[in-house]
Amino acid sequence: MEKLKEKNLKALLNFLQKEFPLGSEPFKILAEKFGLEENEIIDFLKDLKKRGIIRHFGATVDSYKLGYITCLCATSIPEEKIESAYEIAKLPEITHAYLREHELNFWFTIITKSEKDLEDFCKKLEEKFQIKIKLFPAIKKFKVKAVFEI
């Protein structure tokens, strides 16, 4: 992993976000491009995931085409119970979550198979965490490519 100098790391991480090679041996292609070994890249990514620097490494699928729905949600969580936000954010149905300075201080996106599942999921969260969730269903879908230049 010593070959992974800071400049190389930044270039690798930027490349992974934009142009991950599709094929039977993508890490071999990356290794050749960056002058590394396949296992160095894989170990590096595993380490970033283990340390919580990256949450997910993989393909992003079009949930709508798979029959799922998503909904932006917001709630107010008192400061003394803010750890609830972290517990909610870790649930598999939550795709994005963040705290903000506002009356509605916790925002998150839920993915479910149906409107009924969304309603049931939100009701369970409200009961468990003693919160009231506001739903902001999508009126029009926008897909923004999220690339975080390093």
Biggest CA-to-CA distance, the chain: 53
Q: How far apart are CA 136 and CA 74, in angstroms?
A: 8
pLDDT given at position 90: 94
Q: Taking 60 as the threshold, does the pLDDT of residue 3 lie above it?
A: no
The encoded tokens of residue 45 equal 């990514």
Q: Are 96 and 55 in contact (CB under 8 A)?
A: no
User: Model confidence over 38-90: pLDDT tens digits?
Assistant: 999 999 999 988 998 887 777 777 888 899 999 999 999 999 999 999 999 99
For the entire predicted model, the pTM comes to: 0.66
HSE-CB at 7 with a 13 A cutoff on CA atoms is 1
Instruction: Average the pLDDT over 102-107 and give the result.
Output: 96
Q: Are 19 and 11 in contact (CB under 8 A)?
A: no
Q: What percent of the chain has pLDDT over 90?
A: 59
pLDDT given at position 7: 58
pLDDT given at position 56: 77
